[in-house]
Structure 1
């Protein structure tokens, strides 16, 4: 019988695989293009996915993250590549982000396997969704990744990639 935890980790790996398929064939220059009328690039979206899942998976349960603090200011909600010039820390390259995206689901599984239903510091999203277990955080993370996967696909289409 499959453990209940396996399903969400499997979904995380499957969705991440779809995201990586949209990113793997891009050049760094292509990943930094911003479609007219938008404020972010494909590289920003990739970094944003890493940053948000990192926060959802590790911060609430109090697990240390290996990402530098600058990662959050570079890729969190409200940030954009326009602010990267003002940063002291270098912004991760596309290749570095791809590596983080590939490794992150395994790190999440390793850290949270058997802990998905523990009570953690609750968080209410800007849309009013209350999250109080790692499973709830990861479920929202899957939805969030799907949204940004759609954005990446849209950007590719708008940019002719």
Structure 2
């Protein structure tokens, strides 16, 4: 499990580097042919990790409900994300994986509800499965974010 957490942390560092130096306007830009922008992808990864790891284990997510609702699967950017919200999301993104790592050493996730990803059809039965899935999911979105960055920098 430790290696998977390291992969997620590395992916998150790369995601943050991808956004470094970009203006808030650029982070909010949705390129032609895409449904989302860079800051939405950031929020989506935060919300997804909280839903998958905590909510499906009958635990209260560590972020405000408004972020779950705004960035969960099936959402799109509805409004301009300001600097304050971007900073909050970035902080969550860089700190909550450490909290997950700590929580994995407890029995917090023993009551996990099985879940099948509607997008990929992958069955998630327990916290080990979900951490592996989060790693896959974050890599997928890092790929999209990389493509978006190339387009918005032109």
For normalisation by structure 1, the TM-score amounts to 0.83
1:52 aligned partner? 48
In the superposition, relative to structure 1, how do residues 68 and 116 fare at CA in structure 2: closer, same or farther (>3 Å)? closer
Runs of 4+ in structure 1 off by over 6 angstroms are none
Q: Aligned to 1:73, which of 69, 81, 84?
A: 69
* Deviation for aligned residue 1:118: 4.3
- Bigger CA drift: 137-146 or 52-61? 52-61
* Deviation for aligned residue 1:128: 2.3
Structure 1, gaps ≥5 residues long: none
Q: Map 1:21-32 onto structure 2 (within 5 A).
A: 21-32=17-28
Task: Please say if 1:131 is aligned against 2:127.
Answer: no
- Give the whole-Å Cα distance in 2 for the aligned partners of 1:156 and 1:15: 16
* Deviation for aligned residue 1:47: 0.3
Q: Map 1:101-112 onto structure 2 (within 5 A).
A: 101-112=93-104
2:13 aligned partner? 17
For normalisation by structure 2, the TM-score amounts to 0.87
RMSD of Structure 2 on Structure 1 (CA) = 2.3
In the superposition, relative to structure 1, how do residues 92 and 144 fare at CA in structure 2: closer, same or farther (>3 Å)? farther
- Contact 2:8–2:138, Cα closer than 8 Å, also in 1: no
Q: Map 1:80-119 onto structure 2 (within 5 A).
A: 80-82=76-78, 84=79, 93-113=85-105, 115=107, 118=110
* Deviation for aligned residue 1:93: 2.0
